[in-house]
Amino acid sequence: MDTAQSQQRIQTACLLILTAVVAAVALYWLRGIMIPLVLAVLLTYVLNPVIDFQARHLRAPQAVAVLTTMVLAFVILVLLSLLVSMSVSQLAANSDRYQAQIEQLLQKITVALPLERLNIDPEAITRPLSRLPEGSIGNTLVGALGAVVDIASKGLLVLVFLFFLLMGRTVRRAPRIGVWGDIDARINRYIATKVAISAATGVLVGLVLFLLGIDLAMVFGLFAFLLNFIPSLGSIIATLLPLPVVLVSPDVSATAAFLAIAIPGAIQMALGNFIEPRILGRSLKLHPIVILIALIFWGMLWGVVGMLLAAPITAVIRILLEKSDLTAPVADLLAGRADAGPKG
């Protein structure tokens, strides 16, 4: 009996590997369609409570509830696009000032360091930077926002998929029961909680940076919202992301520069390490190595958007896998519980 079970598990593992390879190839070639579709599916879990609220408390018909929700989603998308556009314009306008500030910082560093004792000519360091084409620093910073612009460019197709997904649901439906009901409830809770925590993080970080007078404060808040979907690594990147702009802004004092890093870091730590685990618990935890592999895998398939979606997609896959006795060990492995043993 043990031999039959071992063979069955080996066959299941081989099928999972083959399925993963075929699915990866299909996801790569269909990424132009799959990325907006996955984003739309995730957004349905976020917007379903809005539709249900209108249906239950405002007595709105399903079509009206869906249309008002779609209008809300479209307005948010337009506001994000305007934010990115204004930030690009601000970067282009301040590029010369940023480049001059970088040259001043580099000169101060060369003066403070004992380069002459090491037989190093300080001008050999500052000269290449002074020969950079005018506006090159601004162009580099503008290029860093390309990923966000790419996400916004897919917004129209996301809205099309979202509209049909929302129209195909039944408002005020009874809660599902059984395995699929549990899966649906846990996915809904995970995505809604993650979006809420990420939105709170983005708003607080953007507000703090705005009050401190940091350029592109709202953009860094948007990045904090997006990067919060990448566990551990995302919060570190979001905290350090304003550092280059802080260093090249001549109007920012040393105290403001310190607070621009310290306060967002404290916000990330409080929300990510204390509040979010209390809401979600440990049932959806992924091992750090699994998160790193997921980032690499989805990043290779779908680029930056794939890296942002890696953790939510992997968490959803883990929920699906743990509901079957044959695939439950794989779910335990994703959670870092390799010694959990088979169910039953």
Mean pLDDT across the stretch 327-332? 78
Asked whether residue 207 carries a pLDDT value surpassing 90, the answer given is yes
Tell me, yes or no, if the pTM score tops 0.95. Answer: no
Give the DSSP H/E element, type plus range, for residue 82. helix 62-112
Looking at residue 218, its pLDDT comes to: 83
Confidence of residue 266 (pLDDT cuts 50, 70, 90): very high
Share of the chain above pLDDT 70, in %: 70
Average pLDDT over residues 284-303: 81
Q: Evaluate whether residue 210 is within a structural domain.
A: no
Identify the pLDDT of residue 304: 76
Is pLDDT of 147 > 70? no
Residue 137: per-residue pLDDT? 46
For the packed helices 217-227 and 146-153, what is the interaxial angle rounded to 10 degrees? 70
CB atoms under 10 Å from CB of 277, counted, come to: 12
211 in any annotated domain: no
The pLDDT assigned to 339 comes to 56
pLDDT of 172 higher than 50 = no
Q: Is a pLDDT exceeding 90 seen at residue 282?
A: no
Lowest pLDDT segment from 23-32, 105-114, 292-301 = 105-114
62-86: per-residue pLDDT in tens?
A: 788 888 888 888 888 788 777 766 7
- Determine, yes or no, domain membership for 151: yes
219, part of any domain? no
User: Does residue 108 surpass a pLDDT of 70?
Assistant: no
Regarding predicted confidence, which is higher, 88 or 284?
88
Residue 240 within any structural domain of the chain: no
- Work out the average pLDDT over 22-45: 86
pLDDT tops 60 at residue 140? no
Residue-range definition of the domain harbouring residue 66: 30-173
Position 290, amino acid = V
pLDDT value at position 208?
A: 92
Identify whether 144 is part of a domain.
yes
23 lies in a domain?
no
What's the pLDDT at 312?
79
Split at pLDDT 50, 70, 90, the class of 133 is very low
Count of beta carbons in the 10 Å neighbourhood of residue 160:
13
Examine the pLDDT at 122 and tell me if it is beyond 60: no
Residue 232 domain-assigned? no
Predicted pLDDT at 184: 75
CA-to-CA separations, 60 to 11, 65, 68, 266, in angstroms, rounded: 51, 6, 10, 42
Residue 175 per-residue DSSP state = P
Give 179's pLDDT tier (boundaries 50, 70, 90): low
Question: For the chain, what is the mean pLDDT?
Answer: 75
- How many domains does the structure of the chain reveal? 1
What does each C-alpha distance from 37 to 81, 159, 165, 334 come to in angstroms? 20, 9, 10, 25
